Amino acid sequence: MAARRAALVVGLLVGAVIVQVSVLAPVIPTAVVPDVVLVVVIAVGLCSGPTDGAWAGFVGGLLLDVAPPADHLLGRWALAMALAGFLAGTVDRGSRPSWLSDGATVAATAFVGLAVFALTGVLLGEPGLTLAAALPVIGLAVVYDVVLGLAVVPAVRMLLVRAEPAPRVRW
């Protein structure tokens, strides 16, 4: 069951990389593109906890690090997304999911992920990258991600529940 779930998540992440790089990037008029991979990672974290979120973030980030147009240092997205997925997983899952809490979680964790990625770039001396230039980009990206998250989080939740129909036992 865990294997099925893991396979589903990896499949989702590969699909997300392709959609982000090849489908959305040429269509969206701005250079900023919705972070499909990051939103899927956050959704996995939200739906199945910090451990799964961190793993999904690491794998998804690594995919985005090596997928063709990437030229930054390997592991930067993996670092940022592992953190974002973990943080999304620590949100209290006892309460019923609502659009508002989903949106707020996506906004906060996406900001952390994007900011950590930009910060590692600044620390590692990536050319032409300053925090002043990064902030508007991150701001617009967070807006995109929240909009995307409102659709993706419920979809991922449904898929994960379907992959593992056993109810959670509480007593």
Q: Which residues bind other proteins (CB under 8 A)?
A: 14, 17-23, 25-26, 29-33, 35, 49-52, 54-55, 57-58, 61-63, 65-76, 78-79, 82-83, 86, 89-90, 114, 117-118, 120-121, 124, 126-129, 133-134, 137-138, 141, 168-169
- Closest distance between other proteins and the C-beta of residue 136, in Å? 8
Residue 53's contacts (CB-CB under 8 Å, 6 or more residues apart) are 41, 42, 44, 45, 46, 84, 85, 86, 87, 88, 89
Whose Cβ is closer to other proteins: residue 98's or residue 128's? 128
- Closest distance between other proteins and the C-beta of residue 70, in Å? 6
Whose Cβ is closer to other proteins: residue 72's or residue 157's? 72
- Closest distance between other proteins and the C-beta of residue 119, in Å? 11
- Closest distance between other proteins and the C-beta of residue 168, in Å? 8
